[in-house]
Amino acid sequence: MSGLALIFRRELALSWAGGGGPFLALGFYIAMASLLPLALGADPARMASVAPGFAWLVLALASLLSLERMFERDFEDGALDLIALGPAPLEMTALAKGLAQWIAIAAPLALLAPLIVTALGAPMRLAPIVVICGLVGGLSFCFLGGVGAALSLGSRRGGVLIALIVLPLFTPPVIFGAGAIEAFGVGLDWRTPLLLLSAYSLAAVALCPFAMAAAARNAIS
């Protein structure tokens, strides 16, 4: 088995350790969705018109909840020092952490998103594009969030610092994802915003491991 596969298995196991996994993010997602009818009232048409964009925005926010654990546990118990001194590049570990975060957190959120959108009154035909945007956009959320997690190592208020760092970076995927869903719903060109979302996510996967590794080395030096 390759080094990347071994590191990935470790990171995937860590993402579920200590009561982790997607449950906190999924619970937050459901709780926030349940508040929308209370805020907008009982008008089904009004709720259906804002449900896709609202669900996509809350999905991005829900992905923030578990980012603090990406590097913090390894940093606190000294495992990050050993990983940095090991034969595998720290960039490979950062890539594995981002992919594990995507599978453990972003993918379950993306699969739940169509149920949330439909429950809020949006048409069922939006389900495929909501899932696709959730899976593609989830890559950018996880890898950009990993940069914030690495930069906040050693901070007493790591969760707040991560949010301040990554929320501006979340703006393009939120715009592209919401634009693709809205365009699909009204029969306009939805492929262009989806391609822009895909390009942004691929750029995040390609570049963010280097930024994560640099920030982690700075924290342990």
pLDDT tens-digit series, residues 46-76 = 888 888 888 888 888 888 887 877 888 788 7
Position 195 scores a pLDDT of 97
pLDDT tens-digit series, residues 109-157 = 999 999 999 888 888 899 999 999 999 999 999 999 999 988 888 776 6
Position 51 scores a pLDDT of 84
Position 147 scores a pLDDT of 93
Cβ contacts of residue 46 below 8 Å, gap of 6+? Answer: 40
Average pLDDT of the chain? 86
Query: pLDDT band at 221, cuts 50/70/90?
Result: confident
**Does this model's pTM top 0.75?**
yes
Distance, in Å, from the CA atom of 110 to the CA atom of 63, rounded to the nearest integer, reads 10
Query: pLDDT band at 3, cuts 50/70/90?
Result: low
- 88-93 long-range contacts, Cβ below 8 Å, gap at least 24? 88/3, 88/4, 88/7, 89/213, 90/213, 90/216, 90/217, 91/209, 91/210, 91/212, 91/213, 92/3, 92/4, 92/7, 92/209, 93/7, 93/11, 93/213
Position 73 scores a pLDDT of 79
Query: pLDDT band at 25, cuts 50/70/90?
Result: confident
Position 2 scores a pLDDT of 64
Q: 220 with 85: CB under 8 angstroms?
A: no
CA angle, corner 195, sides to 190 and 198, nearest 5? Answer: 130
Query: pLDDT band at 194, cuts 50/70/90?
Result: very high
